[in-house]
Structure formats: C-alpha cells, structure tokens
Amino acid sequence: MTSARAFVPPVAAPLPEILEERRPRPGLTGLALRHLSVTIGLVCLFVLLFIAICAPWLGTTDPLAINPGMRTRPPSWVHFFGTDALGRDLWSRVLYGTRVSLTVGFCVAALATVIGAILGMVSGYVRVADGIIMRLMDAVMSIPSILLAIALVALTRPSVLNVIIAITVAEVPRVARLVRSVVLTLREQAYVEAGIVSGSNASQIIHRHILPNALAPIIVQATYICASAMIIEATLSFIGAGTPASVPSWGNIMAEGRALWQVKPLIVLIPAAFLSMTVLAVNVVGDGLRDALDSRLIKDI
C-alpha cells in the first residue's frame, strides 16, 4: 500500500511582461533632453518671443526715426547693427520685425489649422460634402500659395491683417486634405463602428474618437504652416505686396537694403539671418513634436 502524497499546486512562473518595470515614454521634455537640435530650437523660439515682447525696451531708438546725418553707418555702441539708407537704427527695426513675423506665423498657423481641420473632418466623414469641399480645395491649391497671397493682398490695402488673411486662405487646403486622409482611415476602425452601433451621432464620434487620434498630425502640420507663413510674409514684404513701409518687417528691411547690397550688405544679411534662424527653429520643433506624438517613433528612454 503506497502512502498518499500531499498535493502541491504548481507555482505559476512569473510573467516577464508583468514583472518587468515599465519605463515612461518620453514626452516633449524628454525628447528635448535627448535631442540637442530640439533643445536649441525651443531656446531660439523662446528668445525670439522674448525679443518680440520686449522690443520697445530692447531697441535703442525709434525704428521709424529718420536721421539723414547717420546714413549707412557701421555697427557701433549706439547702433548695434548700424543704420540704413535713411539713417534709421537697424537693430531696432530688426527687433520690431520679429513681432511681425511671429504674429503672422502664429496667427496663420492657428487659423489655417482650425479652419482646415473643420473642413477636413466634414469632408472625410460626410460623404455628401466630400466632393464639394475637396473640389474647392483643389481649386485653391491649383494656384501657387505666393501668387494667391499676392492676388488677395492686391485686392485690399497692405496691412498685417490682410497678409494674415491672404496666407491663411492659401494654407487651409493643406490642412484640409491632411485631415481628410486621416479621417478616411480612422472611420474604418472598429471603435468608430462600435460607436455608430451604440447610437452615437456624427458629432459625438468625431469629438470622442476621430479628433483625438487625428490631433498629432494636425499639430505637426501647424508647425510647418507657421514656418511657411513667415517665409511668404517676408516674400510679400520684399516685393512690396505685404506689410506697409510704416511697419518694420524683415522683408521690408531686406527690400530697402538691396539697393545698397554692395556697399552695406548687413542691411540684407542680418534680417535674412533672423528669418532663417526662426524658420529653422520652428521646423526643428515640429520634428520634435512629430517624434513625441507619433507612438511608432517613440522609444523608451
């Protein structure tokens, strides 16, 4: 007769995926610490924003004050960047030009993103409206952005507001087509179909399911539109179809200095360097946002 053995239940092996310590995924701050370029871009944008806000206190003189006796002077302790052909302080004019470029870039990015996102959502989700909205967007996109902006500004008087409206009209189709393509992909997902079956209406599905998942590419696209708007504004001002001469902007400064290019190249080079640095900083931050918001590109720290 064999002795009965006590039954010992088997001990389940620990699941490595349960016991493994989960490390947080990096956000924008983590990416900034990991990528030097993103950090530099953010620092540049904050510095430019500080310059735009504090331009009245950082400028040495009135940017519109004309002094014929100080024409085309070299940089000095009084005029850090020298003076232009009318004796105006180039340092003060460049500082005030930062206000114009950042205002146009941020306003165009915000307006074009909101309007384009709404049109793209409606076009991608409502099949009846898709054909009408997309044909309208195709008609706008068939005209180059700079030519469309020139035509719209030519119909009105030059001003910063009219430049913002003109560039916004030219940039809206880019956002609308992007959002439409994202919505067409998301509307076929199982959770969207489950929402439809559960009785949710179109606005609820867009607000709860589609918009949160489409937010990442929309934000990244907004950064590129901001950079593009600054370039278009400078181009319009350079050819005399943008901001009026009474408003200092980087495009105006370069346009006024091209006649003195061989004698005084700094009048063109300094605002061009500020414009290039600003556009580069915005694009670098946009790349960082793409890495932070796209889960497929995120890696553990």
What confidence tens digit (pLDDT) does each residue in 205-239 have? 777 777 877 888 888 899 999 999 999 999 998 98
Q: What is the count of structural domains for the chain?
A: 1
Q: Mean pLDDT highest for which of 22-31, 90-99, 190-199?
A: 90-99
- Specify if 18 maps to a domain: no
Assess if residue 236 is contained within a domain. Answer: yes
For residue 238, the enclosing domain spans: 37-64+77-293
In a domain, 49, yes or no: yes
Cβ burial 170-207 (10 Å sphere, 16+ → b, else e): bbbbbbbbbbbebbeebbeeeebeebeeeebeeeebbe
d(CA 206, CA 122): 9
Count how many residues are written for the chain. Answer: 301
pTM for this predicted structure: 0.81
Within a domain: 300: no
Which of 68, 73, 74, 69 lies closest to 86, judged by CA? 68
pLDDT at 19: 36
Residue 150 to residue 145: CA distance in whole angstroms: 9
What tokens appear for 282 in the block?
């915005």
Q: Is residue 118 part of a domain?
A: yes
Say if residues 199 and 258 touch (Cβ distance below 8 Å). Answer: no
In a domain, 282, yes or no: yes
Average pLDDT rounded to a whole number, residues 189-201: 69
CB–CB of 175/217 below 8 Å? no
For residue 31, tell me if it sits in a domain: no
DSSP 50: H
- Domain with 127 in it: what CATH number? 1.10.3720.10
Please state the three-class secondary structure of 227-293 as a single string. HHHHHHHHHHHHCCCCCCCCCCCHHHHHHHHHHHCCCCCHHHHHHHHHHHHHHHHHHHHHHHHHHHH
Question: 27-41, 117-131, 284-298: which has the highest mean pLDDT?
Answer: 117-131
Is 6 part of any domain? no
